[in-house]
Amino acid sequence: MVKDEDDQDPSFNYQGCTVQDGACINPEYYTTVASGVNSGVLTIRPEKIQAVDMDSLNYPIQYSFIDGTPSFYAEYFTIDPQFGTVKQIKAVDTSLTKRFSITVKAEEESSNHRSTTAKLYIEVKPVDINPPVIHSSAVDEGYGFVEENSPIGTKVLDKNGQPIILSVTDDDLGPNDPKVTYAFELTTNSFNVDSDGYVYVNEEKLDRDPPNPGKYRFQIVAREVNGHAGSIPYLMTVFLKDVNDNPPRMPMLSPITIQAGNSRRQLVQIKAVDNDEGQNANVSYSIYHVSNQGHSKFHIDPITGWIETTGRMMAGDQYSITVQASDSGGLYTQSIVEVVVIAGPNTKSPVFSQSSYEVTVSEGSPINTTVIPLKAIDPENDPVTYTILSGNDLRQFTIGEKSGIVSVIRKLDREELTRYQLLIKAQDEGGLSSTTTLNIKISDINDKNPEFIGAPYEFSVDEGLDGAPVGKVEAVDGDEGINALVHYSLPDDLPFLIDANTGHIRTATALDYEKNNEYKFVVTAKDGAPDPRIGTASVTVSVKDIEDEIPLFHKTLYEAKVPENAPDFLVTQVHADDPDTVKRVTYVIKQGPSDLFTIDPATGTIRTLRGLDYEKDSQHTLIIGTLENSNQTPGATTKVIVNVEDRNDIPPVFLTIPSPVTLDDDVAIGTKVTTLLATDSDGTSPGNKVRYELSGRGKALKYFHIDPDLGVLYVRGDLQKEPDNEYQVDVKAYDLGEPQLSSVTSVTIFVRRVTTPIPELGMGFSDDSYTARVLESAVAGTLVKVLTVVHPRPSLPLPLVCTIVSGNSEDVFTINVTTEKNCEVRLKETKLDHEHAESYQLKIRLDTLAGVVNPTKSTTMLNVQVIDINDNVPTFVYPESSKRYAKNAYYGAVAVDEEIGSAVLQVKAEDLDGGKLGDVRYELADDDDQNTTEGPYFAIDPKTGIVKTLRTLTDVPPRNLPFRLVVTARDNPGATNPIDYNTAQAHVVINVIKDQHRLVMAIDGARPDIVKSSENKLIDVLEKQLQLIVGGEKVSAKQYRRRDNLTVETDPSSTDFWFYVVDPATETILERNNTKVTRSILNKDSVGNLTSTIAEKLSIIASDIHLPLQQQNVVTRTHTAGVTIQWTVFPYTLILMAALILVLGIAGIIYICVSWSR
């Protein structure tokens, strides 16, 4: 392994230096100071002075000045030996020097004292009192000219055509001061100024022509490079000179109509517009081309643009005249004028030879058949056109537009329409017209079949009638004359006749329903034409049956079983047949108990009206008949036998009420106590079989039992084992039916004590009170305490009962008797809570045979103390704003210039445990954002939870804002084992307040102390209204600006409430120019809503929300009179005051001298 040694000099290091072997060569640093001003710590360029050890040993570096010019540099500047920070300690004037050159030494703190040097140049700049002034080389100051559409870089000229050059002068600079470089800033992007001061075009295609501006007015400011001083704005106007870049533009012209003739006439005037100006806008006109060889027939005035005819115009001719408009620069535009020549005056209309025409056309005429040729003569021999005006709604006919021939264009149907009346119009080209009427009659052909009306037909007729009318059929034929006559006929093999002319149908013979109850056949209709056409229709004739039969029962006996106690129970259904087609059967009960049964007259269904009783009557007989058959012949009625089924519907009944029985407590087991008998009145077994059992009450089942068949009650246990003197024995008698029915009676048994021992000292608790301690985390069943019971004669088998008399209202504890005959108390449920109840006072009673217990020792008190454990975790108590936005966090803010040690906010956590276990301590978790090399920014008081600042916040990187801290709260301070203490964490968000965050609410008529007392309510109203987290920074007396805008006055009777807002989504403090702030707070309507809401909720008058006065570029100083003076006036005020003091001082000296001489 090679060990590094101190064999390399340190090296100054900054970005951009010339590097050789990893070290900067000839490093140089620069800075500037103002003449007559002590600037303090200087900003060094290109970076702060910093050197590093080129060895890996990384020795610390010491910085110092070792030489410089002028030689008195050390009087004005020092360098921090550890950090290399350069500081001005004394103001320097440019009259002494304008530049310092200082050699900086960087030396290792090692035994070799290796070092290196760098140059630091400090330039002393004069105080910037006078702003720079811009001057122009233009003849007319501030005016320039350039041609439109000039390329980028074209120089702007003055009116003499010379490029305009801008120069800058500064009265602050002397002749020996170094030359200052300026950059020009323009309020337009269309022009710019180069480094030599020439004004040039900076944008393509600058257009002078409307609607574009013909001139550009803008301001120019000259600003020092690497400086802030700017000149007074220089106003410049650049005029765009016109170039011929626009051809003339002509409007679109409508077609022109002119009557035929030879005279010279004006047609239209062409007016072209040129957006150029001067000579470039002069337009001349010419005819470029005329269609239809008409160039010689038209002329245009080159100046006015009027087009005239110069030749003969014939009706029907059309011309397209191409007109050209040209400017003086040779640019032109063409447009076309359409001219149509029409005939001269038209005075007479065409005339038909007849006012009306009559013609007949067969309905079978094919399409395009000529109906009639019509002709109208025009007296002026103009062409005539023909149209059908009316009567052709079905579009059956058409007329030749030029020929006047009327023809058929659709198939004709005489049955649909027999006659047409067409109104024909003839019109010449001049629009004059006349009309005639064409009457067209359609002749018939046999083209329609007879059609039946209402087919198919359905008729009915009674059986057994000869010649009875059945019905009528009817057919119609759409033809006319003989073609429309209709005759009817039927097939010959039918028992029906039809009238050939009327269509009436009758029976030819008597019909028999039983042989055939329906006939279906076809009727034919034929017209009277030589070549007849036919039509057919189907006919259905139903033969109606005549009623002559009576209903009969084919089954004469029905049997049914019905369970007793079942109302509306379906017994059976009887049926009688009726041979007739229309069956009419009405069922009735003719004999039998009609109060128990009912029959449906339509269906024959028999049901019970109420429950039947087997014990009363086990069978019923019903005779069922019909209303339609009152005969006594067989089949006229039927018999129904109803058998009732027994059901277990009667419970057993005890024969007697048992009397009380008294037994000695030493009676032998098996001794008969009494006999209880019960009977069951059901008619059948097993519903009337009775059995017995004890249903039990208290301890009776332990000491008695009953014979299940005989009902004898016996003793089954030693009655001396219980202190009870009375037992209630419940005996249940039940049958064996389904469902099982039962009844219960009760026997009272008294126990007479005949062997009670005589107590000596008496049985009782050993102590009057006991104490027990149990952890609040104890589970159910945990033994709390064993209460010792003193037994004078433990050999006696005495019963013993322990009871908690009081103190156990929440049913937390239970008590039992141990095998040693002691009372033990145990937890019944796991619900002890020290915070709910620290102790329980239980009163416990001992019970046994009478005379055995010592009355003074039969009760005792048990004090159960619940031992607290650390079972509750600290819980943070969050402010209302955090709860409103469902944020488990604390929000605070601190001013960027706040003093170290200032309180920012306070966190609070509560622990429900008592004593030391509930004591809470706070600490901040490690956080990379606030733990820097200089240490953390915040600390927290471990007892109070107050978060305070540890460092200034001016150097916090923006990426670390807001601060997001984690506070840990732990209970049981001093505990080292994590099992013994609980912790909880809360997030703390701290924003840094800067000037751009502050807002001020002006509150009139309320002193600051009053507003301070209602600050939390005011914040609550603001948060609900704004839906933002609101923090109050301070409350102070109201300040307002007077009308002179220079004076700020203070009103102690009103208040300024300084506040800021935080976005709950990002948890970041919002600047005033943020959209959410401007929209919800600074907007005029929003201010009105806020102030009215605050007035309603808090009864205080909030007049305005504005920026802090210091933010409005007025530096103020407040005096007792509330006067504030601008800093621009303040120096002159001081000079005036100094002069006044000097005059008064001289006057005082003179006065003293005069007085002294006297």
Query: Model's pTM, two decimal places?
Result: 0.34
Q: What is the CATH number of domain 352-443?
A: 2.60.40.60
Asked, colleague to colleague, whether 256-342 and 352-443 share their fold, the answer is yes
pLDDT tens readout for residues 897-913: 888 888 988 999 988 87
Query: Which DSSP category does 25 fall into?
Result: S
- Residue 762: CB atoms within 10 A of its CB come to 15
CB under 8 A, 24+ apart: contacts of 370-374:
370/405, 370/406, 370/407, 371/397, 371/406, 371/407, 371/408, 371/438, 371/440, 372/405, 372/406, 372/438, 373/403, 373/404, 373/405, 373/406, 374/399, 374/404, 374/405, 374/406, 374/424, 374/426, 374/436, 374/438
Report yes or no: 766 and 790 within 8 Å, Cβ to Cβ.
Answer: yes
Residue 184's DSSP bridge partners are 222
Three-state SS for 851-865 is CCECHHHCEEEEEEE
As a whole-number percent, the residues of the chain with pLDDT over 70 amount to: 93
Candidate CATH numbers 2.60.40.650, 2.60.40.60, 1.20.1250.20, 3.50.50.60; the one for domain 256-342: 2.60.40.60
At the topology level, CATH places domain 870-993 in Immunoglobulin-like (2.60.40)
Q: What is the CATH number of domain 133-241?
A: 2.60.40.60
Give the distance, in angstroms, between the CA of residue 757 and the centroid of all CA atoms in the same chain.
86
pLDDT tens readout for residues 1092-1150: 888 888 888 888 888 887 644 443 444 333 333 344 445 566 778 888 888 888 888 88
Report yes or no: 204 and 152 within 8 Å, Cβ to Cβ.
Answer: yes
Q: In what order do the strands lie in the sheet with 690-694?
A: 661-664, 742-752, 726-735, 690-694
Which positions of the chain have pLDDT values less than 70?
1-6, 128-129, 176, 227-229, 344-346, 380-381, 548, 696, 755-761, 792-797, 850-851, 927-933, 1043-1046, 1110-1133, 1155-1158
> What was the pLDDT predicted at 830?
72
Residue for token pair 């077609």:
255
**Has domain 11-125 been given CATH number 3.40.640.10?**
no
Candidate CATH numbers 2.60.40.60, 2.60.40.420, 3.30.450.20, 2.40.128.280; the one for domain 764-867: 2.60.40.60
Structural tokens at position 903: 């309180």
Q: How many helices (H) and strands (E) does the chain have?
A: 7, 84
**Has domain 653-737 been given CATH number 3.50.50.60?**
no
> What was the pLDDT predicted at 293?
86
Report yes or no: 12 and 51 within 8 Å, Cβ to Cβ.
Answer: yes
Going from N- to C-terminal start, the domains of the chain cover 11-125, 133-241, 256-342, 352-443, 451-544, 552-645, 653-737, 764-867, 870-993, 1122-1157
> What was the pLDDT predicted at 795?
63
Q: What is the CATH number of domain 552-645?
A: 2.60.40.60
pLDDT tens readout for residues 117-156: 999 999 988 776 678 888 888 878 889 998 888 899 999 8
> What was the pLDDT predicted at 402?
92
pLDDT tens readout for residues 1030-1074: 988 888 998 887 766 667 788 888 999 999 999 888 889 998 888
Structural tokens at position 83: 């950090």
> What was the pLDDT predicted at 1084?
79
Q: What is the CATH number of domain 451-544?
A: 2.60.40.60
